[in-house]
Chain A
Amino acid sequence: MQSHFWEASLYGMPVHVNTLIMVAVALVILLSITRLLTSSISIRPNRLQIFAEMLYDFCRSITFSSAGKRGDTFLYYVGSVFFFVLTCNLLGQFPLKIFELPHGELMAPTGDINVPAALAVGSVIMYFFFGLKAKGLKYFKHYLSPLPDLMAGQSLPVKITYATFFWPFILLNIAEDLTRPGSLMIRLFCNIFVGEILTGVAHSASHYLLPIAVMGIELFVAVVQAYIFAMLTNIYISLLSEDHDHHEDEHDASHTTQEETKSPSLAVA
């Protein structure tokens, strides 16, 4: 494990230089593609702009599926995470062994556990931020989650009974803030790291065709893992920033718009 990384020390902290190089490459690729795609924005779109809008629509479909129009407020984070993870995953499929480093070797940056860990911590920070922004201090009420619903409209002895038996749920709700980034981190890291190992094993078994087949699977895994990471980040943010008071209004609004869209077809019929 140690030999895969080029370790340096920055203010006493160990730093993996090969991961830093690859993250920098990913950022340069992302920024230059973004610059290229948005270079000529006009009302009459050219091919580049249509492609950019396609990518935007794909990201918006992720947030729209769980949060509706409210999702546009955190679309920028989910979209950024999706494209960053996708670029990082796909970078691992380039023939990076041709670049020689003093120590270690270049690999997909998400195959080093520090990058997924940083992304997972970023997701936690964002869902705290959007939760606090949407609900204020009422955000912390969700840590009590089954108790208020159970206790509503009950007499005092029943409330005390519920509190004595269901208080461990509070600990579970707090532990969820640790298991969410942990599962996000392990899922992304293991998938990419296993992919690297699998390519190596296939390469040692046969130098032709078999590694190509494995790398084909890896391309699929890279896209799916980026999608899952963005999807889960979006689900956490939209769940925890959901305000129940406004939610019913939104529901009514969507209901009326549905009726409005239906009524012309009925008139035609």
Chain B
Amino acid sequence: MEAATTYTIGGPLAMAIATIGPGIGIGLAAAAFFNATARQPEVRGPLQGVFFAAAGLIELMALLGFITLFL
């Protein structure tokens, strides 16, 4: 329990840096999704599932940063 409560600056900093890339990535995916939906509203249903799956894939990068908190 002692090891878990004593924080250094490195872990949180790694977590913070690791969130930058996935943030940009999910933002780009969402922008493309909104553009496509605005142009062709009928593709919203099929694209929604693909968008969430892609967002989940991109999210893994931030979660790997989260893992480094415990290393």
- A interface SS class: helix
- Closest residue of chain A to B65 (Cβ to Cβ) is A190
Q: Contact check: which of B4, B52, B59 meets A187 at CB < 8 Å?
A: B59
Which residues in B have some Cβ–Cβ distance to A below 8 Å? 1, 4, 46, 49, 52-53, 55-57, 59-60, 63-64, 66-67, 70
B46 shortest CB reach to chain A, Å: 8
Q: Contact check: which of B49, B57, B59, B64 meets A227 at CB < 8 Å?
A: B49
Which residues in A have some Cβ–Cβ distance to B below 8 Å? 1-3, 62, 65, 183, 186-187, 190-191, 194, 224-225, 227-228, 231-232
B52 touches A227 (CB 8 A): yes
A228 touches B53 (CB 8 A): yes
B3 shortest CB reach to chain A, Å: 9
B47 shortest CB reach to chain A, Å: 12
- Closest residue of chain B to A235 (Cβ to Cβ) is B53
- Which chain A residues lie closer than 8 Å to B66 at the CB level? 190, 194
- Which chain A residues lie closer than 8 Å to B67 at the CB level? 186, 190
Given contacts A231-B53, A232-B53, contact A186 B1 (CB under 8 A): no
- Closest residue of chain A to B63 (Cβ to Cβ) is A190
Q: Most A CB atoms within 10 A — which of B4, B55, B63, B64? A: B63
